[in-house]
A and B are shown apart, each in its own frame.
Chain A
Amino acid sequence: MKVSDLVEKYGLKVFAGQESLGKEISGGYVSDLLSDVMGHAKENEVWITLQTHQNVMAIASLKDLAAVILVKGLEPDDDTLARSREEGIPLLGTNRGTFEMAGVLFNELKSS
């Protein structure tokens, strides 16, 4: 499944990084602890988090993640948006909570 498919099917908001929605999703990672993500997330995974500051995009770029999804309707900081554009990594949003969003992604990836 591509990031764009996930966006369309589940009505995710695209805050920035529109031009990079074509990446294929290899899996997901759920954590709000940055060192945990740094140590364990893998290339082309989608990271689901409630952290909204720019270090999230720095990590997403360093780890070559496919996209970041902010949960619970949270809005990114301005410099997070700028960083998403710069790094060309989609920054997405949903009103769902972490549990539900992770469930959605898990089911999608399991069935594809």
Chain B
Amino acid sequence: MALELVFQIEGGDFSNAGKASSQIKKVLKQLNIDTRIIKRVVVAVYEAEVNVAAHAHRGQVKALFGETEVEVVVTDQGPGIENIEQAMQPGYSTASKEVREMGFGAGMGLSNIAKNTDNLHIESEVGKGTILTFRCNYS
């Protein structure tokens, strides 16, 4: 049976960023997944979590551990992304001054996600929110 984990994230709450990626890392370890794959998943989930905290009002991370891959869906209510292609460009960021001072806002998150996943899909509606879906194959 496939295992599913769900985590809630509040906008602006950076203290909880990393909870989902940390739990998902533990599960993948227990499933004896190749550490190289675990490292990729962890980078992608962390960046997605931080993007909800940094850019949206609230959201959730859902991880579905299948037989051959893990699927992660990150849904948020927030401003949405007007131009996804532009947002994917390394270096592009609309992060606030406060967020930048923490060292976030380099504009590297989405490209980190793209680099570390097989199958990234982003759907977004301006003024409503964003749905980010990606998979990582276990092998």
Contact = CB atoms under 8 A, between A and B. Distances in A.
A38 B43 contact: yes
Say what secondary structure dominates the interface of chain B: helix
Say what secondary structure dominates the interface of chain A: helix
Interface in B97-125: 102-104, 106-109, 111-112, 115
A109 interface: no
Contacts of B43: 38-39, 62
Interface residues of A, number: 19
Contacts, number: 62
A54 B18 CA distance: 10
Interface size class of B (residues with CB under 8 A): 20 to 34
Interface of B: 14-15, 17-18, 21-22, 25, 39, 42-43, 46-47, 50, 102-104, 106-109, 111-112, 115
B25 to A, nearest CB: 7
Given A58-B22, A62-B42, A62-B46, A36 B106 contact: yes
